[in-house]
Amino acid sequence: MTTNWPPDDDWSLETLAIHADQPLNETGSLAPPIYQTSTFLADSSEEFAEMATEPQHSRFYARYGNPTNTQAQAVIAALEGGEGALLTGSGMGAMTTLALSLLESGSHVVAQKVHYGGIISLLDKLLAKFGVATTFVDQTDPEAFEAALQPNTRLILAETPTNPLMGLTDLRGMAALGKKHGITTVVDNTFATPVNQRPLLLGIDLVFHSATKYLGGHHDLLAGVIIGKKQQIEQLWRTSLMVGASLNAFESWLLLRGLRTLRLRVERHNLNALSVARALAAHPGVKCVYYPGLESHPQYALACAQMSGFTGMLSFELDGDYATTERFMAGLRLVGRAASLGGVHTLAVQPAAMLAASLTEAQFRERGVLPSLVRLSVGLESPEDILRDIDRALASATS
Which residues are annotated as catalytic? 63, 116, 188, 213
Burial of 106 (0-12, 13-18, 19+ CB in 10 A): exposed
Alpha helices in the chain (DSSP H): 13-19, 45-53, 67-80, 91-102, 117-121, 142-147, 171-181, 193-196, 230-243, 249-259, 262-281, 300-306, 322-331, 351-354, 361-366, 383-398
The rounded distance, in Å, linking the Cα atoms of 153 and 102 is 11
Instruction: State the number of CA atoms in the 13 A half-sphere of 202 facing the CB.
Output: 23
Our CA dihedral for 226, 66, 75, 27, rounded to 10 degrees, sits at 170
User: Around Cβ 241, how many Cβ atoms within 10 Å?
Assistant: 15
Residue type, 245: A
The rounded distance, in Å, linking the Cα atoms of 139 and 114 is 8
> Are 251 and 280 in contact, with CB atoms under 8 Å apart?
no
The rounded distance, in Å, linking the Cα atoms of 104 and 113 is 22
Q: DSSP character for 255? A: H
Please enumerate in sequence order all residues whose Cβ is within 8 A of that of 41, keeping only pairs 6 or more positions apart, or say none.
none
Q: Which residues pair with 336 in a beta bridge?
A: 347
Please enumerate in sequence order all residues whose Cβ is within 8 A of that of 143, keeping only pairs 6 or more positions apart, or say none.
none
Q: DSSP character for 392? A: H
